């Protein structure tokens, strides 16, 4: 397996534009997580899915953020409209949850810059 | 509120020495704790997991301890090498409504000089 695949690797966009980040989890994994990483706040959990169903989105900063997982092999994180403070590295991670405590596999991340 | 503390200052050591990184937490009762390595421009990579009923775990040159009384985990790299230079993140795991999630510390950068 190629691991968790994210696209694009880098995104530069103007304030107010819509941004869509994409993630393909590892085949067979049943949980998917979206994280955001900044120097100030570290790695923050935004939302996680189990069996394609959103379980907890309490980490989503505001209504401008939305995430979907239409099937087991694809997820998107959308920001509309984007703002400069959204600039960060966004990571997608997947794992197989069968009893708790399993490792998470991270993608390479998408570096988002909003100007 | 829940808090995870890792030393924000980089740890500089010489090759061959043992590196010891600290993870302290408050207002948290994790079921398990994990350590990850992150290189610049890359995603975190899992290293070790230790459960609340375990005191110590080893994997090759790595050793993790977990003291739920002190609310602290120590991460050791013995015989360190320049290739061990990276940022190391601790992550506390909890089970909420049957689902496991991870909360990460900000990480400590380790620099191993030849």
Lowest mean pLDDT among B49-58, B68-77, B89-98: B89-98
For the cut 80, the answer to whether the pLDDT of residue A50 exceeds it is yes
What is the C-alpha separation between A44 and A51, in angstroms, rounded?
21
Q: For A32-71, b where at least 16 C-beta lie within 10 A, e where not — what string?
A: bbbbbbeeeebbebbbbbbeeebbbeebbeeeebebebee
For the cut 60, the answer to whether the pLDDT of residue B109 exceeds it is yes
Strand, helix or coil for residue A9: coil
Q: Is A38 on the interface with B (CB under 8 A)?
A: no
The residues with which A36 forms a beta bridge, in sequence order, are A44, A90
Lowest mean pLDDT among A8-22, A53-67, A95-109: A95-109
Whether residue A65 contacts residue A78, with contact meaning beta carbons closer than 8 Å, is answered with: yes
Q: Is B42 on the interface with A (CB under 8 A)?
A: yes
Q: Under an 8 A CB cutoff, do B51 and A107 touch?
A: no
Pairing between β-strand B62-67 and β-strand B72-77 as defined by DSSP bridges: antiparallel
**Beta strands, E only, A3-115:** 5-7, 10-13, 19-24, 31-38, 42-50, 53-56, 65-71, 74-79, 88-95, 105-106, 110-114
Pairing between β-strand A53-56 and β-strand A42-50 as defined by DSSP bridges: antiparallel
- Return the sign of the alpha-carbon dihedral for residues B39, B44, B45, B49: positive
Mean pLDDT of A14-23: 98
pLDDT given at position A100: 58
Q: Supply A16's token pair.
A: 């107010």
Question: Which of B96, B101, B107 to mutate: most A Cβ within 10 Å?
Answer: B101
């Amino acid at each position: 397996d190629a691991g968790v695949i994210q696209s694009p690797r880098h995104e530069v966009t103007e304030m107010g534009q819509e941004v869509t980040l994409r993630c393909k989890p590892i085949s067979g994994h049943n949980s998917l997580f979206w994280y955001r990483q900044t120097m100030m706040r570290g790695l923050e959990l935004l939302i996680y899915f189990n069996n394609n169903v959103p379980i907890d989105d309490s980490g989503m900063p505001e209504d401008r953020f939305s995430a979907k997982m239409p099937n087991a092999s694809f997820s998107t994180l959308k920001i509309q409209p984007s703002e400069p403070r959204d600039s960060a590295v966004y990571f997608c991670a997947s794992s197989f949850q069968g009893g708790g405590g399993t490792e998470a596999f991270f993608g390479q991340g998408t570096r988002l810059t909003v100007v | 509120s829940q808090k995870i503390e890792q030393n924000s200052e980089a740890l500089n050591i010489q090759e061959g020495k043992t590196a010891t990184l600290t993870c302290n937490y408050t207002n948290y009762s994790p079921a398990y704790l994990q350590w990850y390595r992150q290189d610049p421009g890359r995603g975190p990579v899992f290293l070790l997991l230790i459960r609340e009923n375990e005191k110590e775990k080893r994997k090759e040159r790595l050793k993790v301890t977990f003291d739920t009384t002190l609310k602290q985990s120590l991460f050791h790299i013995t015989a360190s090498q320049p290739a061990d230079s990276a940022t190391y993140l601790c992550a506390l795991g909890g089970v909420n409504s049957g689902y496991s999630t991870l909360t990460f510390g900000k990480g400590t950068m380790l620099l191993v000089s030849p």
